[in-house]
Structure 1
Amino acid sequence: MGYTTKFSGKFQLDHPLFDFQALYLLDFARTRRVKRSQSILMIIPDPGREAVGLPLGEEGGYFINESHPQAAESVMDENRPPKGQPGLYCQWQPTADGCAIEWNGHEKFYRYVEWLQYLLVHFIIPWGYRLNGTVSYLGELSSDRGQIVVVDNRIVQPEDAEDKLAFATSPVLVPHSVWLGFYAVHSAEPSRLVSWVATLQRVTELGYPETASWIEENLTKLYAPGIDRGFVSMETGEMFLPSCYPIGN
């Protein structure tokens, strides 16, 4: 199951990464990016992160010492990434010589544009590097092909990389009448939410027609992101994160 996209080419750095920076990015790509408890992480040594001068980050977003015996205890949700990260795995990594960024060759790389934008904002730019280059991609569907183009630390193709990252890491905005239906199901039977069919049936039974209509109209684009990242009311700002198993990564 899942969908695999292949990539060819590299994004060139204007000067080589220091060894400790390259090692950090390799470990960042190797480890599953999961939501962690900062209070537990504070007692776990993390020399690779400390070498590059990074804090733990929100929900342990910069933590990489996954092999430590106590690291498993820090996991708060193994199926959701820390706030601000667009997925469970980043598959961009430095080349062996530290002069470029490339795909690590692993299958099922999702949200690859968002992850590249994340690397630029959190590592490449703050560390004083300039990234340029073109990488071609080819998905399993013959129509799913194209290029990712970076010019002076800016992703110019596809457009709106900043917006894509913001969307991929934010809860889904819905009208309050829709939010109420989702929250009613979440409060009573949270496991139902993982199935849109079961949720549609339940909100109809509970008397939330606006929620039922929203599910039917937004099933392919917004339902799964809402289950993964939460729903927030447009009018009140109330938000909840479904406790059922997230969809995708």
Structure 2
Amino acid sequence: MFCEREPTDDGSGIQWNRAEKFYDPTEWMHHLIDHFLKPGTTARGHPGFEHFTFDHVLNGVIDAVGAEEGDEWQLIVQNNTVTTVEPERGDPDRMCEHCLRIVRSEDASCCADAETTPLWPA
């Protein structure tokens, strides 16, 4: 089992380590959150993890492209909950930049003064 995710230099995030391919990214994200990052993780109290804080809440979006044509999707993490979304053809759904919720219309937003961005580039 090889995880192609690593901490950023400043420790504020995780990033792809540029390995050739990244297999099972959704499962890996679940594993990292459940075992090392969120409160109450399974690694707490084990040797080698004395300096871990186990208090992280992850939020973010990863745009993914597979080897085959049309193999595109997004891995979305919102408050440590992992989901995947495949693009729909036609007008793209949008995402609130504040809370990462999906909104269905370009002029709709769920948070006051928050911008929305397309889930998929036009």
Category of TM-score, reference length = shorter chain = 0.5 to 0.7
> In 2, distance between residues paired with 1:136 and 1:109?
13
Say whether 1:121 aligns with 2:34: yes
Q: Equivalent residue of 1:131, what SS?
A: coil
Deviation digits for residues 1-28 of structure 1 (CA, Å, limit 9, x no counterpart): xxxxxxxxxxxxxxxxxxxxxxxxxxxx
Higher strand share: 2
Higher helix share: 1
Deviation digits for residues 158-217 of structure 1 (CA, Å, limit 9, x no counterpart): 5xxxxxxxxxxxxxxxxxxxxxxxxxxxxxxxxxxxxxxxxxxxxxxxxxxxxxxxxxxx
Q: Equivalent residue of 1:117, what SS?
A: helix
Percent of paired sites with the same residue: 35
Structure 2 gap ranges (5+):
42-53, 86-122
Contact 2:73/2:84 (<8 A) preserved: no
1:145-224 equivalences under 5 Å are 145-158=72-85
> In 2, distance between residues paired with 1:139 and 1:131?
24
Using the size of structure 2 for normalisation, the TM-score is: 0.55
1:101-120 equivalences under 5 Å are 101-120=14-33
Q: For residue 156 of structure 1, report the CA deviation from its aligned partner.
A: 2.6
Corresponding position of 2:68: 141
Counterpart residue type for residue 137 of structure 1: A
> In 2, distance between residues paired with 1:136 and 1:108?
14
Using the size of structure 1 for normalisation, the TM-score is: 0.28
1:74-89 equivalences under 5 Å are 88-89=1-2
Corresponding position of 1:95: 8
Structure with larger RCO (C-alpha < 8 A, sep 6+): 1
Q: Which has the larger radius of gyration?
A: 1
> In 1, distance between residues paired with 2:83 and 2:64?
15
Deviation digits for residues 92-134 of structure 1 (CA, Å, limit 9, x no counterpart): 1111111111111101221111111100100011301110000
Question: How many residues end up aligned between the 2 structures?
Answer: 71
